[in-house]
Amino acid sequence: MKKILAILSEYGYWGIELVGPLSKLEAAGHKVEFMTTHGKKSEALPPSYDSTYIDPPLGVCVTTPLAEKMVKEFEATNRLDECRNMSDYIPERPYHSKQNFLRELEAYYVKVNESIAKLTDEYDALFLVGGSGPIVDMVNNQRLHELILGFKKADLPIGAICYGVACLVFARDFNERKSIINGKHVTGHCIEYDYHDGTGFLHTDFNIGPPPYVLEYMLTDAVGPNGQYHGNFGKETSVIVDYPFITARSLQCSFEMGDKFVEVLDKGLKRYGW
């Protein structure tokens, strides 16, 4: 058995993007535990368990009856009632304007290194769950960036789906400031599948219209001339493995991503989809 640490947004995750890979990982005998930015419960976004919901870019019901059933059954287990609190492990990086900045920065890295050592000893992989929620509290989260960097340094698998993939763009060493996916092959939301309007979150009273960034453009820039972004527009699924990264475009890829995650953990898969 191997253990996977799944990171979820406190502003809503897309149901099958957790439950699909989770079902494959657990069927293979692995254990998945959960963490959110402040330890609050993560909840599935309502459209992700509504099989009548029409996705605007695709013009079809994207939540299948099977996905609706699986997500509702998972939510009923209350497994997300007690999530680990990321802020208990990774402190906030001090501002440069702090009076005692140098000493505080040194203490920051000591704490980060201690926590990363413990987490990478306890867990065998990291999983960044998608949905619109990550846009709010995961993508530009300095604490999560440290976790991602730590798992990469430990050469452990890092899976990401949908807007969870965006976290990889910004998880950069604070001194080098170079994308960790530079030179890699990745997938993620292509522009054809982005919303024009209606990007919403739980625990807020508004939608922000379109996503605040075009993920395809960010990924294309981040991988650079020696890597490649694969949108696979028109293909039902898009899953790319370029170790240590396992990236998946969107909800339709959930089960395939889970299969490849298992192959990475159990069979040493290093490359898939390109």
Write down the number of H helices and E strands in the chain.
Answer: 8, 12
Tokens matching residue 229: 């972004």
Contacts of 153 (CB under 8 A, 6+ apart): 116
Question: What's the average model confidence in pLDDT over 112-126?
Answer: 98
pLDDT reported for residue 192: 95
Contacts of 71 (CB under 8 A, 6+ apart): 15, 16, 19, 44, 48, 49
Classified as helix, coil or strand, 217 is helix
Q: Round to whole Å and give the CA distance between 99 and 50.
A: 52
pLDDT reported for residue 126: 99
pLDDT, tens digit, for every residue of 15-28?
A: 999 999 999 999 99
Question: What's the average model confidence in pLDDT over 29-48?
Answer: 97
Nearest to 144 by CA among 130, 162, 164: 164
The number of residues in the chain equals: 274
CATH number at residue 255: 3.40.50.880
Please report which residue ranges of 131-244 form alpha helices under DSSP H. 134-137, 142-153, 166-170, 215-223
Report the amino acid identity of residue 218.
M
- The whole domain housing 239 covers 3-272
Number of domains in the chain: 1
Question: What's the average model confidence in pLDDT over 42-57?
Answer: 95
Q: Round to whole Å and give the CA distance between 191 and 66.
A: 27
**Whether residue 14 has pLDDT greater than 90:** yes
Classified as helix, coil or strand, 12 is coil
pLDDT reported for residue 205: 83
Global pTM value: 0.97
Phi and psi of 29, rounded to 5°? 95, 10
pLDDT, tens digit, for every residue of 144-195?
A: 999 999 999 999 999 999 999 999 999 999 888 999 999 999 999 999 999 9
Q: Which contiguous run of DSSP H or E holds residue 7?
A: strand 3-7
Neighbours of 176 (CB within 10 A): 8
- Is the separation of the CB atoms in 166 and 139 below 8 Å? yes
Provide, rounded to the nearest whole percent, the portion of the chain with pLDDT above 70.
100
pLDDT, tens digit, for every residue of 80-90?
A: 999 999 999 99
Tokens matching residue 143: 């604490």
pLDDT reported for residue 206: 81
Q: Which contiguous run of DSSP H or E holds residue 107?
A: helix 101-122
pLDDT reported for residue 38: 98
**Whether residue 114 has pLDDT greater than 90:** yes
Q: Which contiguous run of DSSP H or E holds residue 110?
A: helix 101-122
Kindly indicate the confidence band of residue 207, based on its pLDDT and cuts at 50, 70 and 90: confident
